[in-house]
Amino acid sequence: MKSAIYDNKSIHLDTTNREEFQKLYEAGKKGELTCPCCTEKVRLYLGIMDEPHFYHMLPTLQKCADAPIAKEVAAPIVEETTIERNGFRIPVSRSIQTMEPQKARRTIKKRTRPLKIDLPFAPTPTYKTELEHAYLHELDQHGFQLDKSQADAVTNTEGPLLVLAGAGSGKTRVLTARTAFMLQEKKISPNSIMLVTFTAKAAAEMKERLSLYPNLSVPQINQLVTGTFHSIFYRILSFHDREKWDSRNLLKKDWQKEQILKEAGKKLDLDEKEFSYDLALQKISYWKNNLEWPETIKPQDKWEEKVAFLYQHYTKSLQEHQLFDFDDMLIGCYQLFRQDTSILELYQNRFRYFLIDEFQDINKVQYEIIKMLSGKTKNVCAVGDDDQSIYAFRGSDPSYLLDFERDFPNAKLVILDQNYRSNHEIVAVANQIIMENKRRRHKRMNAQHTSSQSPISFYPYDEEEEAIMILSDIQEKITNGKKPSDFAILFRTNTASRAMFERLVNSSIPFKIDQDIESFYERFIVKGMLAFLRLSVNEDDQHAVKDVLPALFIRQNALQDIKAESILNDCSMLESLAILKTAYAFQAKKLKKLVPILRSLSALTPTVAIETVEKELGFQDFVKKRGNEGNQLDKGSDDIRDLKVAAKNFTSIVEFLEHTDHMKAMNKEMKLISKQQKEAVTLSTIHRSKGLEYNTVYVIGTVDGMIPHDYALESLRNGDASPLEEERRLLYVAVTRAKDELFLSIPERIRGKKAHSSRFLSTLK
């Protein structure tokens, strides 16, 4: 049904602007929509698989016939003629006839459709029928079957081996089966094997799986040297110098490191509220993992110059106080082996075999240490997938996998190209996306089963409608028997999850989020803008005054003066701020306008109020100069555009501020309960989803500017294609998390602007 009555007026979806659909959706939830035929309550359906339509709340009601589209008022057709006046021909107009009523204008430009797949499903036999080794036969008897490529990776134990393990190809089984094979078939001593993973969780999973293999004893498994690079190398360091590497000297928390940086920042006159110390720490970690020392850094811009200074102070401070951080565990081991060849030789003789998981994520210092340790035997088994290398921001470099044979000549290559996770349709889409990358090992994944449903692309109006459509689809599927844990909603950056988070919070569906996802309304730039709105509601809000100071380019130590003036002059904090003495004319000009402008906001909608602060109080200048300095991914201007999209759903500032407070509180609550939530929808960044799998995956915001991100497009314009290739790998990772169903959302508008489908999908339309 396309018609309904709203606000005593007849409306039809085919003649209603698409941006109004969300208002109608909310009106239906409030019981404000009625059927034009039976006058019963109706709601607007906004989902993925069906077109928008109105439906009755009570399924027992007889289905009403759709009301006809109201005819538009006939408009006159005008014929233009001219007359001559003073030597000039001047046009005049006169009506000559009436045109036919206009046809209803379609408001939905693009409709949900399956993605185009280039190859039909053709199952390939993969099982290795002839088992040449006794232990492989035993594994087979216990249910640990291996295909031919997997068996090759397991049995080639001598010399360097590169295993290209595509998504869903069973790399964990290969690593554990290879370890068991070496222990049982080859009788290799377990304490001569080093099994390296990238997370402690993965290391624990490896040992747990090994305990299920036939004939392996717990003592044997415990003698294996397993763990992350950090844990293994730290054990080496603490054994040789326990006092220096005492765990009590470890800086475990970021706030501890930030305190050291802030001390150095005072020398540069850096304001704690304005300078991104968390990003500075990330950059310092990147330099350390790439073996770049404070004295060798070549800053690329003014921000990096500041960070390089902080890096120098940070390193000196740690040395003076005999402290170290997690990165120092790697650097310390690297320097130990470089400085004392006898210790290096000791471990070269001790460790004869190296199995390294997620090799595409290795960084320079990790790679160099493995090269040194394996210098005698070259028995390095590197398992990874260059198509899933997505951690360049923390120093990971797929070049070590791509150029493996350069440092390990005569290395064997095994390609695991069978995907046991996803159906053929999803695998085909993933293949078509990733094959456009130029710098990669050529491989095409093959699926073991097919599905009747191809991956779907759908086209919401904007982020808000996108969230409604996904939520509706999940609700339908749960009603039909699916579990909340079957679903994952993936996004490129944390800010992209705002609308989805808010819709889930207001639903009855359990969901969980990453610990690292901060509330959108706690972001630096967003807090600054909201502080102006809060002051317009409460002129004595001290927290709001504190948060507006950076936007006015006033230092935080002025807060005490503002409080004092407020008491002495018996005026509000806002009025006290407005009369603050400043040496700069541009600040005085803003302060003079502060009170009248903020007092005028109460009569405005939140969106107009935000635009007023931007223009009248120079907030745009603040965003341009200070917003998230040094961060390529999150721009302050994007945050404000996102805030406007969120604000458009509210008619008053008070209502909007209450909403932001509620969402901040819910974000904190979700972080506390997410660890305990087992049966829940997963809301996650693509980076965090790597290595996981879900029955149904929704990827939101697959448009240029989101994925690929703006910074990658800017790099491409400057001649560097590597960030764009990593963005394509990121989408590949997202797609290959799906087992049964995949949905790619392509909004028509993002952050209030027209959006274009991701260029990565060009071959799939």
Beta strands in 46-154 (DSSP E): 53-56, 76-85, 88-98, 113-114
Closest CA to 693 of 419, 374, 467: 419
Do the domains 149-241+330-416 and 447-510+677-764 sit in the same CATH topology, yes or no? yes
pLDDT of residue 303: 87
CB 390, CB 686: distance < 8 Å: yes
**Residues in the chain with pLDDT < 50?**
70-83, 85-90, 92-106, 628
CB 318, CB 223: distance < 8 Å: no
pLDDT of residue 127: 57
Q: Order the strands of the 113-114 sheet from edge to edge.
A: 113-114, 456-458, 738-745, 694-699, 487-491, 681-685, 511-513
Instruction: Tell me which CATH homologous superfamily contains domain 521-659.
Output: PCRA; domain 4 (1.10.486.10)
* Dist. CA 470–CA 598, nearest whole Å: 38
Q: What is the mean pLDDT of the chain?
A: 89
**Cross-strand partners of 418:** 446
* Dist. CA 196–CA 187, nearest whole Å: 20
DSSP letter at 617?
S
Q: Which two tokens stand for residue 582?
A: 């400043």
pLDDT of residue 636: 64
Q: Which two tokens stand for residue 725?
A: 């290739």
Q: Over the stretch 5-31, which tens digit does the pLDDT of each residue have?
A: 999 999 999 999 998 999 999 999 999
pLDDT of residue 462: 95
Residues 6+ apart with CB under 8 A from 477: 486, 487, 696
pLDDT of residue 627: 52
pTM (2 d.p.) = 0.89
Q: Is 697 helix (H, G, I), strand (E, B) or coil?
A: strand
* Dist. CA 606–CA 612, nearest whole Å: 10
Q: Which two tokens stand for residue 134?
A: 């006794």
pLDDT of residue 102: 42
- Give buried/exposed letters for 398-430 (b at 16+ CB in 10 A, else e): bbbbbebeeebeebbebbbbbbbbbbbbbbbbb
The angle, 0 to 180 degrees and rounded to 10, between the axes of the packed helices 326-339 and 277-289 is: 20
At the top level of CATH, which class does the domain 149-241+330-416 belong to?
alpha beta
Chain-centroid distance of CA 415 in Å reads 29
Every domain of the chain and the residues it spans:
1-98, 149-241+330-416, 251-323, 447-510+677-764, 521-659
* Dist. CA 478–CA 487, nearest whole Å: 10
Q: Over the stretch 332-348, which tens digit does the pLDDT of each residue have?
A: 999 999 999 999 999 99
* Dist. CA 710–CA 722, nearest whole Å: 14
pLDDT of residue 685: 95
DSSP letter at 706?
B
**Cross-strand partners of 132:** none
Q: Which CATH number fits domain 447-510+677-764: 3.30.1490.20, 3.40.718.10, 3.40.50.300, 3.40.50.10680?
A: 3.40.50.300
The CATH number given to 251-323 is 1.10.10
